[in-house]
Amino acid sequence: MAEKDFQLLTKKGYDFFEVSSAFQKAVRRNREEEACYWATELYNSGYDKYIWKRILIITSEDVGIAEPHLPATIKALHESYFWLKQEKTGDQIRLQLFHAIVLLCRAKKSRLIDWTKNYFHHKHETHNLEIPDYALDVHTRRGKMKGRSIQYFHDESSKVEPFCPVEMELERKEWHEKFFQLTEEEREAKKTCKTINGFVKQPSNQRSIDKPDDGVQRLF
């Protein structure tokens, strides 16, 4: 038989690739009943691994960042399905399969990730960027040649956008900056738990019963 005459058919006689296409397009359009029908046809035809491959692709291709936590849920359902299959739990494994399909149908959709993949795949070969100056910090050869210290990293290279400050972030950044401003002697003193101005809490006049009164002032 010539290759062009070969046709892969499902249990009901559908063209396999047409069923696959119909399944994904139904998920994209939130046509839940159609998606479940085509998934059942693939499942009954012995293509459960293939359905899961499409499900994992759809999760990024057609949902993407519109539902940023969905990939973890789909991965958990995928792992549960094949674990239950290995344990020979029979028809119950379809619970995880249809759980994933219904979630994908009802999920908010965005094809940004797929368009982004295609955009950079085709553009990359004809588009060159220069290394930005802010990347040349103490962790790079050219950054060191520019004389950029850890302070440059604190001031410039550690910037994040959009910035969303969380509790203790600024305080710990300040501590980190102060630590790297210490001399080698001061750092050594810190390692041996000697008192360093600005790095210890002020002693309290009230003695705590759960701390030893040995006259040693401790860090933090």
212 vs 58: CA distance, rounded Å? 61
**What CATH number is given to the structural domain containing 82?**
1.20.272.10
Q: Do the domain assignments include residue 120?
A: no
Structural domain including 195 reads 187-205+213-220
Q: Do the domain assignments include residue 193?
A: yes
Total tally of structural domains belonging to the chain = 3
- The two tokens of residue 78 are 């995928």
Mark whether 176 and 140 lie in a shared domain: yes
Mark whether 32 and 12 lie in a shared domain: yes
> Side-chain half-sphere of 144: how many Cα atoms within 13 Å?
3
Mark whether 148 and 64 lie in a shared domain: no
Mark whether 86 and 150 lie in a shared domain: no
pLDDT tens, residue by residue, 153-170: 999 999 999 999 899 999
In this predicted structure, the answer to whether residue 103 has a pLDDT above a threshold of 50 is: yes
162 vs 173: CA distance, rounded Å? 17
Taking residue 178's Cβ as centre, other Cβ atoms within 10 Å add up to 12
Mark whether 15 and 44 lie in a shared domain: yes
Mark whether 173 and 80 lie in a shared domain: no
Q: Residue 175: CB partners within 8 Å, gap ≥ 6?
A: none
In this predicted structure, the answer to whether residue 174 has a pLDDT above a threshold of 50 is: yes
